[in-house]
């Protein structure tokens, strides 16, 4: 079985879930590509670059920076 799951991070829920038989691999891959293209067409809106950096840090920081920031916000060091 193949599963295509779209997770809505804003709401914290699974937005869609589709199940495909192994024999439907091409259909599943086409559905995944269509979903990704749709999501990539949407622009990210923000009042300023600063606001964008606050809400979408993963686009501006590497993994090490994100990990350090996460550890300092939880008190772990």
Tell me the sheet residues that pair with 6: 16
- Confidence (pLDDT) at 74: 67
Tokens linked to 72: 């300092």
Amino acid 76: pLDDT: 58
Domain count, the chain: 2
pLDDT in tens, 10-67: 889 999 999 999 999 999 999 999 999 988 888 788 899 999 988 888 888 888 888 8
Query: Is residue 64 domain-shared with residue 32, that is, in the same domain?
Result: no
**Where in the sequence is the domain holding 9, given as residue range(s)?**
1-42
Whether residue 75 has pLDDT greater than 70: no
Q: Are residues 30 and 51 in the same domain?
A: no
Check: pTM over 0.85? Answer yes or no.
no
Cα–Cα dist 4/34, whole Å: 11
Measured distance CA(52)–CA(45) in Å, rounded: 8
Regarding whether 28 and 7 lie in a shared domain, the answer is yes
């Amino acid at each position: 079985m193949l599963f295509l799951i779209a997770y809505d991070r804003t709401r914290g829920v699974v937005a869609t879930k589709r199940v495909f038989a192994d024999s439907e691999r091409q259909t599943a891959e086409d559905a995944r590509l269509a979903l990704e293209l749709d999501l990539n067409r949407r622009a990210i809106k923000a009042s300023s670059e600063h606001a964008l950096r606050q809400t979408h840090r993963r686009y501006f920081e590497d993994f090490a920076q994100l990990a350090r920031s996460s550890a300092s916000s939880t008190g772990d060091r």
